[in-house]
Structure 1
Amino acid sequence: MPEPRPSVGRIVHYVSYGTPGGEYTSQCRAAIITAVHGQFLVDLAVLNPEGMFFNRGVTHGEPKADGSYEGGSWHWPERV
């Protein structure tokens, strides 16, 4: 099955960076695509427990060998 194309209003996962000191780890957060700039570059409204923030020019991420994703990237939610 081919991977879907991003479009405005779709729900995706945004991967937070975490903090350098480790107080907060990198986490998947729900996000809504607000603009599409290509197949792999989007603007997001990210939903966090502490509030909402807007992130422009977020690149699509591929899973690393351990299954995690790079902070600051987005990916399609895993099917469960």
Structure 2
Amino acid sequence: MQPTIGAAVHYVSHGTPGGEYGKECRAAIVTEVSPESKGEGQEIVGLAVLNPTGFFFNRGCVHHEADPHLADSNPAVNHPGGTWHWPEGA
């Protein structure tokens, strides 16, 4: 799948350095697709991230899909912070 403007995706937050807050998947909307994208699996997008406490805008987010054999109750642990992925089951 190729990202398009307006697509709903998941952004993975970084969490805090001290571990008070872990990585979490957050709802996000694609606001731009970078011309620097290298194709399938290496897309770079701009996102409007929807956090419980407000909006966050981030450009240059790299796509990352987890190994489908990995399973965790918190899917964010399977992705690096600052990346985006398609929602699980999409």
Paired residue for 1:44, among 28, 47, 57? 47
Aligned residues: 77
Shift of 1:66: 3.9
Instruction: Provide the residue aligned with 1:12 in structure 2.
Output: 9
Structure whose residues are more often strand by fraction = 1
- How large is the RMSD of aligned CA atoms in angstroms? 1.6
Percentage of identical aligned residues? 56
Deviating above 3 A after TM superposition, structure 1's stretches of 4 or more consecutive aligned residues are 64-67
- Alignment partner, residue 54 of structure 1: 57
Q: Which residue of 2 aligns with 1:69?
A: 79
Amino acid at match of 1:77: P
TM-score, length of structure 1 as denominator length: 0.88
Alpha-carbon displacement from aligned partner over 1:33-61 (angstroms, at most 9, x marks no partner): 00001241000000000100100000001
Specify which structure has the higher proportion of helix: 2
Contact 2:65/2:86 (CA < 8 Å) preserved in 1? no
Q: Which residue of 2 aligns with 1:35?
A: 32
Gaps of 5+ in 2: 72-77
Q: Which residue of 2 aligns with 1:79?
A: 89
